[in-house]
Structure 1
Amino acid sequence: MDKGEPGAQHNSSARNYPPRCHIDTRISLRSRILEWRGNCKRRSRLLWVMGQAAVGKTAVAQTMAEKFAKMGCLGASFFFSRPNHRDDPDTLIPTLAYQLAINLPEYKRAITERLGNDPMILRKHRCAQFGELISEPLRDLMAQNHPVVSSPLVIIIDGLDECSDKEAQLEFIELFSKAGHLPLLWLVTSRPEYHLKSVRSHPNFYATCIHEDVSIDDVEAQRDVQRLLRSRFEKIRQQYEDQLGPNWPLRQHVRLISTVALGHLGFTDFLLRFIGDKEYANPQGQLEVCLRFIGGNGLGPGAMNPLHALDLLYHQILSDIPGNYLKTTIDILALIILYPHDRLCAQDVANFLSLNQDTFYGSLQRMHSVLSIPEPSKAHKARLQVYHASFSDFLKDPTRSRKYVIDQGVAHRTIAIQSLQWQIAGKEPELPPQTGAHGCTQSPQLKWVTEPRSPGRMKEALRVFASRIGWVACRRVPRDLAPQLISKLNSFPFGLLREEEVKEFPEFLEWLHMNGVSSLKAPW
């Protein structure tokens, strides 16, 4: 079929060296998928695996596709990939139909006849294509009690979030979930993008789908990392026996990588691929580069980045952020990365940066694969968190993140100025609340207030946070960016500060002196 995408199939030559599960990793998830396929009393014919970026979803999908193909029950597969330009939603249904036709000669005859009678089927909308190319031919075979449809075939769709059209992503999920009458089982993987999470958790949809979540912080994931390290290091050692001793690598080095990986199989795999790279044929040297890299000691000019593949993934995620939101997204990331605080909830982050609820969530809508983003109903008590330290390190390193880098000097200045303002606002008498356009209670200084927290309590929380980090942030502002901050300090009412709020003052005064400020005009 001209509109198909043969490169998206699990066994396509266009997908050279696709990721696969190590024999000892993701065992529980793979077992549950096999059990789902073999259970004639399964609750749903749609199983949706969701997980953050680079946690091994594609490896699971590839491994299961190969397993089901050997079992003779793989109907079709489609691996979306935005970087490889396999992201056109209009190619999915023709590609699935092509593979089903290869696997089921009777089905092939049926759709060949349909296409002969109506060559324009492939130009119809996706819902019509699904009906005429997949649903109706299979239903006809079922009506004939044909043996080829007596046992369901598995259709695997990997990386649904990488499909270029969000509306098409939702349309496909709806088509799959309503195809329960067909002899097909749908295994779908995706990142937890906001629109997909919303659909999957909706009460009307929840019962039509089996949920599987791939995490990096559970015990099994951390054990998987340790198994992967042991196995792959042993394989590398055997390949380079003339270079490496029997005790390579040292236990403390394996332990360090395992600790840094925190259950992140993608991170671990990228490092191991770098260490075992045959182009370099120097695993000890590559390991030393990795140890310097994860130890924060820098790589030096011209050195290869062991996480180049992971960086490409992070670039792809950030490139999806709409241009009008990008600066705000970076501001949010800068605050939670440079000044992490256990008691700062997501709602406080928004208010600290003077963001309303819509802007806050709009800025983060493409970040669910790298951030833990609380739902609005939980934002008053749950934190906004980065899933893995590799993303924070990426954003702070200009050689890796390039245009997405957190400009730390600018970020410290922004945070310092916001801290000054919140220290003042937190000391003002509580003002009568107003009701905003979305029904949220607002005060002049707060952009987003909801029950059960009062504006007064929220201001106090922000004042405490601002007083803890504000003077530290001031000291971190470089000299060339200091004038704007100093102009704000000239009008700051220092006399309102409490004794416990001036602990950082000796260092702050030293910073003022280093910036050539001998006195401030502010009232003391």
Structure 2
Amino acid sequence: MSDSPSPSLHFETFRGASNFSVNELNQTDNSVHFNLNKTPGRPGLERLLAHSMRDAFHDSSDRWPPPQCHYNSRQGLRIKITDWATGREAQPKLAEVLLWMYGPFGVGKSAIAQTCADTLAEEDALGGSLFFSRPNNRNNPNYVFPSLVYQFALNSPEFANLVDQIIQKRPTLLTAARRIQFEELIVKPLREAAAKDPRIKQWTVILDGLDEVEGIDAQCDIINIVAASIRDSTTPFRWLIVSRPEPHIQRAMRAEGVAPLLSELDIPLSPKDDHEILKFFTIEVGNIRKQYNLPASWCSEAELATLVRFASGLWICVHTVVRFIGSSKSLGPTEQLRLVLSVAEKSSSRSSTNPLAAMDPFYDLIMQQIPSDVVSTIRKILLLNKVFPTHMAEINHVLELANVLGLSPEGFYAACNFLQSVLSIRDHSEKAKTIRFYHASFMDYMSDKQRSTEFCIYGDCLEELQQEVIRRINDIHSQSQGNTPVTTIPFPRPPPHNKDDPFLVYCPLVRALFPLCEEPNCVVSPSTADLLMNVQFSRIPELLKNSPCNWIGPHVVPFMGNLPIEYRDKIIRRSFTMSIPGVRWSAKPGSYILGQGKGKLVCRETL
């Protein structure tokens, strides 16, 4: 059989230089898109919200309850920051308008930033804030400035009117380069709005977790754009940027054009925090004691001291331990406390250069508590959630994951309940739900074979899930008749649903296929490659014709790189065919063929 394309297939481009899509599907990207809050008569602001990370705002329900400083902890730091932000310092120690607060993972930087954001919002001094999160997909660098612009518009009617008009006239600004977005959507409307609304000049902008924004270059670009606006006096704000002290961020902050504008605030791991951690444990343990009607002797002072030592100054450890002890999905707080104390004693001799490695024995404990017949399901949930695209806001992400795994929603929630200490399932809206991690360190642990050993989400778990998805896709292809599209099936069907309906699960299955084979660490074994060779890729656009399901083909380079060398040309290869009916060629066209024989599919790679 020759490698000529089928004349009935039409394709449209997706996601930049190294991937493609099929069947005239709508263009999208890796970012989270949200249902719009209707803004009558303001279509520009509606478009702006669609290009914003609403779940990263300081008051987002998706982050509720957010990390916060409790019981007057970190009071000195909070006062220092809010006094800097409002100009209340009698003798300013933080003289510059760009403040970089940095410290290692888990020391409570986000809690400090959140509490300061809440305080400034109450004083009408918060212009905007973004709390980035890698595991929760709040990290698209191209949405940073539109997200801030939307918050500025919420806080200033004058600014809102100007931005709404600008976007109506030039909607492409929302996908323009970051520097252009900053100039056209922030700097220019500010000139007019600030003259009418003097409150704008009192605003502080908070960017928390900059190191979790996707791409090192993007992180540095954001720093440089903000610094240039301060240097050129094009924005009146004070800027608080919070991050880990990553080498590239240190270089960017201390570069010649940025350093003179900068004040620094180091948040180290310090035994000085132990008294505040003890206070927190004492209050939270007291709350658990009351909730479960436990005796006053439960959790003695000596045991509290052990918990403080175990936390090692890591506030993320403190909060996770409290959630674990008070978990409703356990044998009760007495047994949970005993387990934590046992781990704490064993971990005292464990050493590592990674400050969060102190959490590893505790994460081991959490995973060891899960029934053996559920562990495999949980590993697959975590793996699939990590790689699965989440850009369709109208889709119930949890339902999609459950369908791929062949689980009922009830079964999915039951499995996730074993991880209450480290994650929760949050509502984006009435329909859309997603998994939210309290801290990135848990998925870092689960992704590292040396740390999580048999619980790692890669290795045998990856291979098993890859093969399950491929087999189920092949089964559906063999069951389907002709080229009947799956347009008669609601997508997704709200629960209760028939998880055995093959076409109901087809859309999420095909959306999961390539991410499971192309993401870093998602190596394809020879046995999995054998199954891929049997996939009838040509059936996918036939079955998804007119479906709202977007199927995104592979990022060619990483996909090929994860395949065994001897299988690469058999599964995906370059096509030298120079025309496909209905395709608009890019400036540097290149097409690829997926599969073999009658099951092959020609796809366009775009630059």
Report the Cα offset of residue 161 of structure 1: 0.7
Q: Distance in 1 between matches of 2:420 and 2:341?
A: 10
Matched residue, 1:303 = 369
Q: Distance in 1 between matches of 2:176 and 2:367?
A: 54
Q: Distance in 1 between matches of 2:328 and 2:166?
A: 50
RMSD across aligned positions (CA): 2.9
Q: Distance in 1 between matches of 2:256 and 2:367?
A: 54
Which of 258, 273, 284 is the matching residue for 1:232?
284
Q: Is the 8 A contact 1:20 1:60 kept in 2?
A: yes
Q: Which has the higher contact order (CA 8 A, sep 6+)?
A: 2
Q: Distance in 2 between matches of 1:115 and 1:402?
A: 43
Q: Equivalences for 1:412-423 in 2 at 5 Å?
A: none
Secondary structure (helix, strand or coil) at the match of 1:59 reads helix
Q: Is the 8 A contact 1:275 1:287 kept in 2?
A: yes
Report the Cα offset of residue 69 of structure 1: 1.3
Q: Distance in 2 between matches of 1:125 and 1:301?
A: 43
> Scaled by the length of structure 1, what TM-score is found?
0.57
Matched residue, 1:293 = 343
Which of 250, 265, 272 is the matching residue for 1:212?
265
Distance change >3 Å, CA 61–CA 232, structure 1 → 2: same
Matched residue, 2:59 = 11
Report the Cα offset of residue 395 of structure 1: 5.0
Distance change >3 Å, CA 204–CA 95, structure 1 → 2: closer
Which of 71, 76, 86 is the matching residue for 1:38?
86
Count matched residues: 327
Distance change >3 Å, CA 88–CA 178, structure 1 → 2: same
Q: Is the 8 A contact 2:101 2:243 kept in 1?
A: yes
Report the Cα offset of residue 126 of structure 1: 0.5
Matched residue, 2:301 = 251
Q: Distance in 1 between matches of 2:341 and 2:420?
A: 10
Matched residue, 1:147 = 198
Q: Distance in 1 between matches of 2:72 and 2:167?
A: 45
Q: Equivalences for 1:451-462 in 2 at 5 Å?
A: none
Q: Distance in 2 between matches of 1:203 and 1:189?
A: 20
Q: Distance in 2 between matches of 1:184 and 1:301?
A: 45
Matched residue, 2:225 = 175
Q: Distance in 1 between matches of 2:366 and 2:245?
A: 36
Stretch deviating more after TM superposition (76-85 or 394-403): 394-403
Q: Is the 8 A contact 1:311 1:401 kept in 2?
A: no
Q: Distance in 2 between matches of 1:300 and 1:159?
A: 26
Q: Distance in 1 between matches of 2:439 and 2:164?
A: 41
Matched residue, 1:501 = none
Structure 2 gap ranges (5+): 1-47, 348-360, 371-418, 424-436, 460-607
Matched residue, 2:243 = 190
Distance change >3 Å, CA 24–CA 399, structure 1 → 2: farther
Matched residue, 1:313 = 440
Matched residue, 1:466 = none
Q: Distance in 1 between matches of 2:331 and 2:60?
A: 28
Q: Distance in 1 between matches of 2:257 and 2:240?
A: 20
Does residue 165 (structure 1) correspond to residue 220 (structure 2)? The answer is no
> Scaled by the length of structure 2, what TM-score is found?
0.50
Does residue 110 (structure 1) correspond to residue 162 (structure 2)? The answer is yes
Q: Distance in 2 between matches of 1:23 and 1:301?
A: 31
Deviations, residues 265-322 of structure 1 (Å, cap 9, x unaligned) = 11111111111123337211110111122222985995158975699734655799xx
Identity of paired residues, percent?
28
Q: Which amino acid aligns with 2:62?
A: A
Stretch deviating more after TM superposition (91-100 or 111-120): 111-120
Q: Is the 8 A contact 1:156 1:187 kept in 2?
A: yes
Deviations, residues 104-154 of structure 1 (Å, cap 9, x unaligned) = 000011111212222221122110100111111112234x364333x4211
Q: Distance in 1 between matches of 2:85 and 2:127?
A: 13
Distance change >3 Å, CA 397–CA 107, structure 1 → 2: closer
Q: Distance in 2 between matches of 1:246 and 1:291?
A: 18
